[in-house]
Amino acid sequence: MKKILVTGGCGYIGSHTIVDLLENGFDVISVDDNSRSTRYALSGIEKITGKKIKNYTVDLKSFDDLYAIFQEHENIEGIIHFAAYKAVGESVAAPLLYYENNMFGLINLLKCVKEFSIPHFVFSSSCTVYGNPDIIPVTEQSPTKPAESPYGATKQMGERIIQDFSAVEKTKSILLRYFNPVGAHPSNEIGELPLGKPMNLVPAITQTAIGKLPKMLVYGNDYDTRDGSCLRDYIHVSDIAHAHTLAIQYLINQKNKTQCDIFNLGTGNGVTVLEAIKTFEEVSGTKLNYEIGPRRAGDVIAIYANNDCAVQELGWKIQFGLKDMMQTAWAWEQKLKKEENLIKQQAVLN
Ligand code: WQD
């Protein structure tokens, strides 16, 4: 079986991608220091696939520890790199933390890719690189804009580092620009484990609905959109996960057009905050306690994807609609409430 090394494998998108890789016949190892995740995801992966995944609790900034993993594993076919800090607000408050962690980690990883001649590299990027687009939907050729946060800047710099690296090395790379990943695996064995107060919309909705938060704020309803609230392209995390498997297969089968191809991972449908809330209420049968609050600094007004490249080149087919996203997110929130202590114990075990 071809072996894939996944960094950040205990995280939200990483764990869902490992499930998809295993279900498609790959062998997988994970490298995750669990600074922003817990080993709880590994037990969920095992429950879904019946396979036990080895995770190396190594910080990518520790070059010698990372290098030793590559020495231990011959013939790694590819790397999928998720491990990075990703909270927009935190990155504004602590830029050096983000530049050090996200950039040093990537550079150390690429040094090992070069040293061990790893043939394929897939990078977790984000629609953040487009900033506030002038024209929507955005294609992979749409101009990128100065990042609104240090987090976004690390994604833009990461893309540039990988493009320059791939131009002079044999390694073939792919940049996957996620829109807004939401929801949880249909088995309800893995999902998002937000640390502290949720920044993102869907965890804020589900935590309010389950009573963990007294109410939530809609950050502005006076934007130039169909109902005044911001517009996004929400995409189920399992659809995102499968795109990573397709990307690795695309590289292995030498279908790549350049040394560093780029793909948008969005549904191609724009949904406003108020529409997302309405869909959640319909799916969950609960009335959400929210108020209209002030705009959030740095928010993009409206963005959604033109995903033709991923559909046509990768053969990507979207399986989950907005109702599935809300239904799986809600089921996961209800499970978290039941298993909160078990999850806390797992976190302590790390
Ligand atoms: C979506 C909309 C908010 C919370 C960010 C990153 C992106 C990716 C996903 C990592 C906005 C509104 C939110 C709330 C609200 N990160 N909202 N009340 O900002 O589009 O993207 O997270 O992969 O790279 O930039 O996602 O979910 O934070 O916000 O009204 O309590 O929901 O204002 O309009 P965002 P989000």
Q: What is the pLDDT of residues 136-179, one digit of tens each?
A: 999 999 999 998 889 999 999 999 999 999 999 999 999 999 99
Please report, for residues 139, 222, 248, 272, the alpha-carbon distance to residue 173 in angstroms, rounded to integers and kept in the order given. 19, 41, 9, 33
> Ligand 1 pocket by C-beta < 6 Å: which residues?
86, 88, 126, 128, 178, 180, 199-201, 204, 216-219, 230, 232, 273, 296, 299
Cα distances (angstroms) measured from residue 278 to each of 33, 209, 283, 287, 290 = 38, 13, 9, 9, 11
pLDDT for 18 beyond 80: yes
The ligand 1 atom nearest the CA atom of 298: 19
- Considering only CA atoms, which residue is closest to atom 32 of ligand 1? 201
Q: What is the mean pLDDT of residues 271-296?
A: 98
User: Under the phi-then-psi rule, with left for phi > 0, alpha for psi from -120 to 50, and beta for the rest, what region is 117?
Assistant: left
For residues 97-108, average pLDDT: 98
**Closest among 235, 328, 336 to 284, alpha carbons compared:** 328
| Range scoring the smallest mean pLDDT among 46-50, 297-301, 327-331 | 297-301
- Residue 332 Cα to ligand 1 midpoint, Å, equals 19
Active-site residue among 98, 151, 234, 250?
Answer: 151
Q: Where residue 327 falls among pLDDT bands split at 50, 70, 90? A: very high
Atom index in ligand 1 nearest the CA of residue 149 equals: 25
Mean pLDDT, to the nearest integer, of 99-106?
Answer: 98
Average the pLDDT over 39-59 and give the result: 96
Q: How does DSSP classify residue 25?
A: T
Tokens 């040093």, residue located = 104
Rounded to an integer, the average pLDDT of 73-90 is 94
* pLDDT on residue 350: 46
What confidence tens digit (pLDDT) does each residue in 219-247 have? Answer: 999 999 999 999 999 999 999 999 999 99
**In the prediction, which pLDDT does 346 show?**
64
Domains and CATH numbers, the chain: 3-349 (3.40.50.720)
Confirm if 25 and 331 have CB atoms less than 8 A apart.
no
Locate the ligand 1 atom nearest the alpha carbon of residue 273 and give its number.
Answer: 32
pTM check: above 0.85:
yes
Are the CB atoms for 346 and 39 separated by under 8 Å? yes
Measured in Å, residue 187 CA sits from the centre of ligand 1 at: 25
Tell me what pLDDT residue 13 has.
Answer: 98
Q: Is the pLDDT of residue 344 over 90?
A: no
- Mark residue 252 as left, alpha or beta (left: phi above 0; alpha: psi -120 to 50; beta: remaining): alpha
Give the Å distance between the CA of 230 and the centre of ligand 1: 9
With bands split at pLDDT 50, 70 and 90, how would you rate the model's confidence at 348?
low
Question: Buried (b) or exposed (e) across 236-245, using 16+ Cβ within 10 A?
Answer: bbbbbbbbbb
Question: CA 25, 114, 177, 220 torsion: positive or negative?
Answer: positive
List, in sequence order, the alpha helices (H) in 123-256.
150-168, 201-209, 237-252
Residue 97 pLDDT > 90, yes or no? yes
Supply the residue whose CA is at minimum distance from atom 25 of ligand 1: 128
Between the CA of 104 and the centroid of ligand 1 the distance, in Å, is: 26
Q: Can 151 be counted among the known catalytic residues?
A: yes
Provide the Cα torsion 297, 86, 324, 335; round to 10°: -110
Ligand 1: distance of its center to the CA of 157 in Å?
A: 21
